[in-house]
Every structure is written in C-alpha cells, then in structure tokens.
Chains A and B, each alone.
Chain A
Amino acid sequence: MLSLLLIILAATFFTGIIIRTKSVASGRKGPGVFQPVKDVIRLFKKGAVYSETTSFVFRLAPTIYFASVFVAMLVVPFGQSKGIISFNGDFIFFAYILGIGKFFSIIGAMDTGNSFEGMGASREALYSMFAEPAFFILMGSLALLTGFTSFQEIFSALHLGSSISYALAVMAAFVFLMIAMIENSRMPLDDPKTHLELTMVHEVMILDNSGFDLGLIFTAGYLKFAIYGAIIFNLFSGTIAYQYAIPMFFGMQAFLAFVVGMIESFMARFRMNHNAQFIVVLSSVSLLIFFGALLVSGKFI
C-alpha cells in the first residue's frame, strides 16, 4: 500500500523534472515540475476524435495499457513493506502484465491503418522482445543472490556487504534505468521530442489518440518511470527505517529523473538499426551481473 502511494506521488514530478532538466540544460527556463500532470488533467477534460478506420480495439487499448501498468505497480514493494500483490515469482507476473499492455498498445496503433503508427508498432514489438531477457536474467541473478523469488523478499534480503555486491547493484540500477528508458521510449533509443515521424517509436504510436485516452497513456508513462525508479531504489534501500527511507525514495526518484534529463540533453539518439544491438548489450550486462552473483554466492570454483 505504501509503495503504491509513494510511486503515484513520485510519478507526479518525475517527468516534470526530466523536462525541467532538459530545459535548463538547453538554456531555457522551462515549464513547472507539475506541468505534465496539468497536461493530463486538461486532456481528461477534453472530448475525443476517433478515426473512422478504427474499431473497438482502438478504444479499448489505452484503458488496458493503463490498467496493465497500474497492476504492475501494485506488485512493486517499498523496502520492507510489500506491494499489494506479492507472491513467489511476482516479477514474472510483473513482466507479463506489462506485456499485455504492450500487446494492446501495438494493436491499438495498428488499428488506425496509418503507416507511421505501423512503424512505431513494429519497433515497439521488436524492442520489447529484446529488452525482456535482460529483465529476467537480472531478476534471476538477484534471486540467485538472495535465495528468494518475490520482489519484496529479494529486495529486503539484498544486503550490500562486499564491494562486488555494490558493483552489482550499480550495474543492476543501470540495467533497470535503461529498461525504463526502453519501456518509455526515451533517449538513446527514441527521441520523444522529435518532429519526424519516421524516427519515432512510442510517440508515433499514439498519434491518433486524443482526450481521455491520451491522458491515460501519458499517465501510464509517468507511472512507468516511477515504477522503475522505485525498483532501483529498492536495490539500495535494504532495511533502512521508514523515516529515512521515504525522503531518500523521493531524492532517488528526483535524481534518476535528473539523470534521464541529462542523458537526453547531452546524448544523440542512436540510429534506428543500432537500437536492437544496444538492447542486446543490456542482456549481456545482465549476464555480467549473473556471473557476479555466481561469484558472490561462491558457485564459481
């Protein structure tokens, strides 16, 4: 329950901080930190335009996409306190429930009969296929390291004792951050602020969405960032008491948003056909973590 509240709170400012960082880095003042939330509220108040090509799939897709992210959020714990859903192997459920959201956002985009949206859909399908092994190998190594198979147990048992485990945690944080970037189609893979449809991934998939549906999609995106931020925080939190952990949580989320903003400000987007390679690199980093976990648990002889 606690994690749910905290993640929702973090989601309200995460994307705002990214945008603010980018504005400041490029010498502008930029909108307020809560501007994205205001945008969404405005969208919720608007009517909608639907393409005549679309069917019920298009109208259903944003809702299911949002619901999948929302339910995934219920799985994520906060330090010692469990998420609302917690069981052995809950991270499998986490990945697969996000999968059904992706499935719907892809077919929702394809429903418009627009070539641009097809482009985005095809890329999204491919990238998420590549990103998933990285997540599973990473969670597998954490499970190996701790001997548990649920988010909450893994994170509360994750003791950062030796220097190797610190290195592992940092690498894991990197992988999670990159997965968050892929999931949200952010910078090294996709430029959300580009104006060329040919080079978009996520933005181009939602060209035809408007009003309430678009608001849901945006909110889901904000939540996704905060979810991954919470997971990264959990990597380091261990058994810290709540009165310290909660401020640290928000500090961490803000810091991550800042990092994302900096990456987006000072990095160019990859060429489209290099994206797949980059995502596969993530799996290899996860494999490194796995070998590290083997080292720590003394399985290497």
Chain B
Amino acid sequence: MNLVWGFILIPVIAICLIPFLKMGGKAIAVYAAVSLIAILTSFVAIEALLGKTFNCTLPGSFISGPIRLQVDALSAWFMLIINFGFLAGGFYGLFYMSAYKNQPKNLTLAAILFVLLYTALVSLCAIQNSFVFIVVWEIMALSAFLSILFEHEKVATVKAAINYLIQSHVSIIFLIIGFIWVASQTGSYDFGAIHAYSLSHPGMFSMQLYLIFFIGFAIKAGFVPFHTWLPYAHPAAPSHISGIMSGVLIKIGIFGILRMLLLINIDYTSIGIFILIISLISGIYGIMLAILQHNLKKILAYSSVENIGIIGIGIGLGCIGLGTNNTVLCSLGFAGALLHTLNHSLFKSLLFFTAGNVYQATHSMDIEKMGGLIKKMPQNAFLFLIAALAISGLPPFNGFISEFILYSGLFSLLHNASAVSLLGIVFTITGLVAIGGLAIICFTKVFSVVFLGNPRHDFYHEIKEVSHFQLLPLYFIVTFIVTIGLFPKIFLDLLTKPVQLFTGLRQLPFNSFHGNGIEVLSSVSMSSLYFILTILILLGIRKLVLRKRAILISSTWGCGYTAPTSKIQYTGSSFSRTYSKLFAMIFLINKKEKDVQGVFPLYAHLETNIYDKTEKWLIDYPLGRLKYFLSRFLFIQNGRLQTYVAYGIVFIIAILLLTAVDTVFNTTFMH
C-alpha cells in the first residue's frame, strides 16, 4: 500500500515543483521523478515476472467502486518496456530539449507532460477498474497530445496533433462502449466483471465485446486501417517524444489487446485468424508505404505500423494455438509477440533518437536533401545502421530473434495441419518473408540516402555530431539490442510467466521454454557468434594484407566523366522508382510536373506527394460527405446574436416542457 502512495506522490510532487525551478532544476526534477518511479515499478514488475503477483485495492470513490491494482506477469513485461523507454528517452530528451532553452514556458509544460505521460502509461498496466482506466487513458492521450504540440508555431504540427486528438478519442469511445456495456450488465467497473460477463455470455456477445475493445486498442496500436494518425503525429512531435510514442505509447494498445484476451473468453481460433489477417495486412501495407516516403520520421512511423503487424502476427498465431490446444504454437506465438514488442521499442526508439539528431544537425526531415552525413556524424550514422539492421530482422541482432521464434511456430504447425490451414500457414510465411524483404529495401534506402554518398543540399550552418551525453542513452540501447540478439535465452526465460498466463487460459501444459523446440535459439546465438567471429578474423586478415599494399584515394568511378555533381547520385525516389512503378495500383502518388522545354531549358519542376489510399477512402471521403451533409444546416449558424438567444430560449422551454410532460406522465401512470 505504501508503494502505491509513493507511486502517486512522486509525480504529484514533481509536477508541483517543476514550474518553480530553474532550467537545470527542471531537468533534474523530471529525471529524478522518472527514475524514482521506474525503480519503484521495476521492483514490483521484476517480482511479478518471477512469479509473485502484486495485488492491492484502493478504496476508490462511490462512482468508481473499489479500485483494484494488479501487476501480473503481462503488466510487468510492459511496465519494464515502458520504464526502459522512458529512462532512455528521458535522458536523451534532456539534451535534445536543451536546444529550446529560450522557450522556458514551453519547456515547463513539456517537463510536466513528460512526467504525467509516464505515470499514466505505467499505471495503465496495473489498473483493474474500467472507470479509473478510462480516466487515466484520457490523461495519457491528452498529455501525449500536448507533447506533440511542442512546436505549436508550425501549422503542420497543430494539424497532426488535432488529428491525433480526434483519433485517440475515437479509440476512447470504443473503449467506453465496451466498458459501459459490461458495467451496465454486471453493475461493476472491476475488470473481473468483464471476465465474469464473458463466461456467462459465451459466443456472439463475447466476440462482439472483444471486437469493440480490439478496435479501440487497435487505433492506439496503429493496425491498418486504424493507423492514419501515426504518420502525422510521429513527425510532428519532438524526437524523444516520437521515439517514446512509437516505442512505448502504441504498445499500450498491444497491451490492451492482450489484456482483453486474458479477460474475455472467446473462440480463440476465429479471433486468431482475424488478428492474423489484419496483422499481415498491417505489416505489408505499412512497410510498402514506408518505402515511398520522403520524410525521415514518416518512414519510421509507417515502419512502426509494419512492426505492429509483426507483433500482431505473433498474437494471432498464439490465439490459433490456444484455440487448437497446440501448446508449442501458443507459447511461441505469444513469446514472439511479446519479445518483438520489446525489440521494436528498442530499435524504433533508437531510430527516432538518431533521426532527431539528424534533425538537430540539418533542421530538416526531407531525406532528399540529405546525404553524406556519415562523415559529419559518424557515431550517429553507426547507431542508425545498427538499428536499421535490427529492424530489418537480420542476425545477429534482436529483430531476427523474435522473427525466428515466429517462423519456428509457423513451421512447427506444418506437420499436423489440414490442407486449408496449410495454405494459411504458407501465406503467413510468405507475408513475413515479404515484410522482411521490403524492410531491407526500406532501410537500405533510408540509410544510404541520409548518411552515404555526397551531400545533396547546401546547408548554411555547420553540421556536427551532437553531444556525447546525448549519444550515451543510444549506446545503452544498442547494448540491449546486441545482447538480445546474441543471448536471447535470458529474455526468453523472463517471458515464461507472461506466456504461462496465456497458455493457462486453456490449461495447456507449459512450464518453460525447455523442450519446446525453441532451445535451438542457443544454436542461433552460436551461429551469430560464428558470424561475428568470421567478420573479425576477416578484418584482421584484411588489415594485415593491406598493410603492405598501396592505398590510393581517388574520385568515384564516373564512366570517364571527371566532374560529377552530387545531383547525379541516386536519390531516395530513384532508389524506389522501379518498386513504386511495380506496385503503382496500391499507392496514391500525386505528381506535379513541369517538363523541360526548348533548346535551352531554364526551369523544370517535379513534385511527388504520397498519399495513403486507406486514409482517402476511410477518413477523407466519409468526412467530406459528412461535411457536405452538415453544410445543409449552415443556415442555423447565421451569425446573428438575436437568433442565438432565441435558440437558447427555445432550448430552455423545451427542457421545461419535457420535464413537465414527464411528471404528468409519471403521475398519471402512478395513479
């Protein structure tokens, strides 16, 4: 109990203090608060991961009823991810934000919001009362909204933030519908009531309830077609916030989906197939659009959609395993999903932080203007490269491990499946492979266009590496990425308890990952070590051999042409041109073109703009129709004060009349 009060007191004290502190004090206060909460919650979380669930009930109010808090293994896993994300992101943010020293008011707000967002996210993992859950969810959504608004003088930022605000409230509406449904049927806001309700109403009702929750959480997580807010919100926010949003915030959607899976008793096979299909679409569509973008952070945002898809594939497989009583598939599916959640939070936040460094150096996010940054910011380029390799799912990094677990699950299914499900398996494997291949296109493009070659644009300020302190948390993340890649066993063992929660839903016999077909992971890490060893030996040999040889530095081979300009380099668009032509029917590329004309052309112009087809048809089109319909009623808003007063009077009279009618009705019926 004391723990909980401490947990509530720390952010309250920090938030009250921050406005009165000086710049350095603010930074210390924010980070101290975050660290204290992180230590406190990690302590509880690690205990939960080792098997000791934390339980506690707050008295609550007469509206909410008693507020139950519970940290089980699933909450613990997500809590630790959130803690790590905020510790690294916060540390990075301290230095990132120092560029905005001249806006003290803005920074105060940002500091308060950071603490608030963190506290809200961590508590969401533990709260077991739907009323309080919604309130905290709203705090989380609003603080994220205001955090995005940091650079509010830019129109695009305001637009993106409002887009996010509206979409996250659509998500809240779905959640409220789900919670009220249960509360109205059972009279309790406790999460236990959801479980009890679904047990007493199996079949259609539970399925509908789950789908409502799924949509609510999927908007937050960014599954296609609910992803349209991501590509706006991530680029608009300051980089440490976008890293946290993509690495941690959208994972709370995944957490919700998993939590509801534990609570609602449904037909796991059909929901598994549903999640699998929607995830495959998310994965492929997300990365396909990512390849085309020109804005660095937008690329990363779309790639988040892809990775949410991979996580979803794991959840889908796990559900199918549950439905068919297949312990191996169930455990591998959920383990893959949970591990990829961690992995994605690591490399995606690293990518956003390095992108933030690029932004601070160039003041631009347009990759077509960059190039050659590796010479100006070698460390940053190296960090980005590691993250790019990891996110492409390549060994010896962590992305490969989670994808390998998913593949193992899929291939383990092959032996005893029917023809139809085999087709499903093959399509899933193909989808996962295609996602991997597309990710390679995407990240080779981004890395080479941003960091390699010659600069494509003259910046009128010096481009230099950011401070070492700012790079420090990034190296810390890299350590984790490599550790998971080389020694996955440790992390897999930590996943035993969370996965047991899911296998326990059907009493599947699952005690640990030993004897589960996944001890091959030690062979995988062995092979990865071989790979690293081979590279090191080769580099040694190379160094020895080249020591005595003549090394010349010359210009790039230019087919006999000796005065190349940086303009002849392949740009991002040209790199993906063949690809974008091949899949033209999927994309919506608006082109503005003015061809060269005449013998001595002076001016030519080409502008391409990639738009999302799902956004056009699912958001813009219905909104346009709605606007058209509502515009018919514009006469009501005529701008005359007298009419507005009249509306008020009519409204008051209507209310009075209605009450009067109601009382008359009641009295007549009473007698």
Residues in A lying within 8 Å of B, measured CB to CB: 44, 46-57, 60, 63-64, 66-68, 70-71, 74-75, 84-90, 92-93, 95-97, 99-100, 102-103, 106-107, 110-119, 121-123, 125-126, 128-130, 132-133, 136-137, 140, 143-144, 147, 149, 197, 207-208, 211-213, 216, 272-273, 276, 283, 287, 290, 294, 299-301
Contact = CB atoms under 8 A, between A and B. Distances in A.
Nearest to A87: B523
A117 B558 CA distance: 10
A96 B393 contact: yes
Interface residues of B, number: 85
A97 B392 contact: no
22 contacts: A47-B552, A49-B553, A51-B553, A55-B375, A71-B531, A74-B530, A75-B527, A89-B411, A89-B520, A90-B523, A92-B407, A95-B433, A107-B448, A112-B453, A121-B444, A132-B434, A137-B426, A208-B556, A212-B549, A272-B578, A283-B430, A300-B419
A89 B554 CA distance: 45
Contact of A99 (B374, B394, B418, B425): B394
Interface stretch (B359-367, B465-473, B491-499, B535-543): B535-543
A276 B422 contact: no
B622 interface: no
A298 to B, nearest CB: 10
A118 B570 contact: yes
Contacts of B209: none
A118 B531 contact: no
Contact of A85 (B372, B526, B538): B526
Contact of A110 (B414, B433, B448, B577): B448
A68 B531 contact: yes
Contact of A64 (B417, B419, B438, B535): B535
A157 to B, nearest CB: 12
Given A63-B542, A87-B523, A114 B452 contact: no
B517 A110 contact: no
Contacts of B378: 55-56
B437 A122 contact: no
A126 B579 contact: yes
A148 B401 CA distance: 20
**B418, B437, B549, B558: residue with the most chain A Cβ atoms closer than 10 Å:** B437
Given A93-B404, A110-B444, A125-B440, A48 B549 contact: yes
Contacts of B426: 137, 140, 287, 290
A90 B522 CA distance: 12
A123 B422 contact: no
B1 interface: no
Interface string B627-654: 0000000000000000000000000000
Nearest to B408: A89
B428 to A, nearest CB: 10
Nearest to B447: A107
**Majority SS at the chain A contact face:** helix
B441 interface: yes
Given A52-B555, A122-B574, A113 B454 contact: yes
Contact of A122 (B550, B557, B578): B578
B569 interface: yes
Contact of A49 (B425, B447, B545, B552): B552
Contact of B452 (A60, A74, A110, A140): A110
B411 A140 contact: yes
A72 B106 CA distance: 53
B535 A114 contact: no
A53 B436 CA distance: 30
A100 B434 CA distance: 15
**B400, B411, B415, B568: residue with the most chain A Cβ atoms closer than 10 Å:** B411
B437 A128 contact: yes
A99 B440 CA distance: 8
Given A96-B393, A110-B452, A122-B578, 7 more contacts: A53-B555, A57-B452, A92-B404, A113-B452, A118-B570, A133-B430, A207-B557
Contacts of B412: 149
Interface string B504-528: 0000000000000100100110110
A119 B531 CA distance: 29
Nearest to B549: A47
Contacts of B395: 93, 96-97, 100
Contacts of B581: 273
A144 B412 CA distance: 10
B551 interface: yes
B389 interface: yes
Contacts of A67: 531, 534-535, 538
Given A114-B569, A140-B429, A93 B553 contact: no
Contact of A47 (B407, B551, B559): B551
Nearest to A144: B414
B334 interface: no
Nearest to A131: B437
Contacts of A136: 429-430, 433
Contacts of B558: 114
**B403, B441, B448: residue with the most chain A Cβ atoms closer than 10 Å:** B448
Contacts of B526: 85
B546 interface: yes
Contacts of B530: 71, 74, 84-85
Contacts of B415: 144, 147
B74 interface: no
A129 B440 contact: yes
A201 to B, nearest CB: 11
Nearest to B520: A87
